[in-house]
Chain A
């Protein structure tokens, strides 16, 4: 695999072969991070594409104060959270519109999310977990997705979220506490 410097130089010089290789290396991480935060396949695909365009547009300003991977995760998390906020605003607005118009179509909700990477026998459990993750505040959700689902260290997650390691630790503790509280509210036997 190419080093960060090789990728950066290649992207800066508009090298098409290197760009294709770069997309091949990072596509799965970007898409899966967006998917875990947004819990919607179409939106995650759109955000992931936007992330690569943003990388291409801003690669010249990347100062290499962090690793390329961290920088990419930062862009992905920010774009995903922006999309999430936009979705929430649209949802609020649709409630207002539906108040006056009964024919308003109910949009997809994250509770229905079935992770496409999960095996069939674990899908029910995954659905429960993702429904609980979706209720977390956005910063806790971002920290949880990076540390727990993307296997990043607290240090890497801190760099990606531009916060301190102790702040990540605190977000993770609160996220786990909240998730446990939500799971305890489920009827007995829900989790197999």
Chain B
């Protein structure tokens, strides 16, 4: 018989190790100790969420109260694209080289 199969066959007869002493008791005790912590944590979570919501509401209300319409008008005319106007605005009219080149 194959060595591995022989070892596995031997092992199959009994291989469940007994639980350590008071294992189940320790697990349940640990769980009991954890329960209040979990409740405290969830309570804190709700308090934190309530604070966040309140702060957000205050923020939104204060923004709407002091909000003033602001109008910024930006005029963009096609004339600015004109070569002549551009040259005038930037003082390039005097420069003969620029003119001579464009003419």
Contact = CB atoms under 8 A, between A and B. Distances in A.
Given A27-B24, A118-B14, A179-B4, 17 more contacts: A19-B28, A23-B24, A28-B16, A31-B19, A31-B20, A48-B27, A49-B30, A52-B31, A57-B34, A115-B17, A117-B15, A117-B16, A117-B17, A122-B13, A122-B14, A126-B10, A191-B6
Contacts of B34: 53, 56-57
Interface of B: 2-4, 6-8, 10-11, 13-20, 23-24, 26-28, 30-32, 34-35, 38
A32 B15 CA distance: 9
A176 B10 contact: no
A3 interface: no
A152 B86 CA distance: 83
B2 A180 contact: yes
Given A31-B19, A56-B31, A117-B17, A125 B24 contact: no
Contacts of A148: 8
Interface residues of A, number: 38
B16 A32 contact: yes
Contacts of A117: 14-18
Contacts of B7: 125-126, 128-129, 183, 191
17 contacts: A16-B31, A23-B24, A28-B16, A31-B17, A32-B15, A45-B23, A49-B30, A52-B31, A116-B18, A117-B14, A117-B15, A117-B16, A122-B11, A125-B11, A128-B7, A148-B8, A191-B3
Contacts, number: 94
Contacts of A35: 17
A183 B8 CA distance: 12
Interface in A21-71: 23-24, 27-28, 31-32, 35, 41, 45, 48-49, 52-53, 56-57
A48 B30 CA distance: 12
A24 B8 CA distance: 27
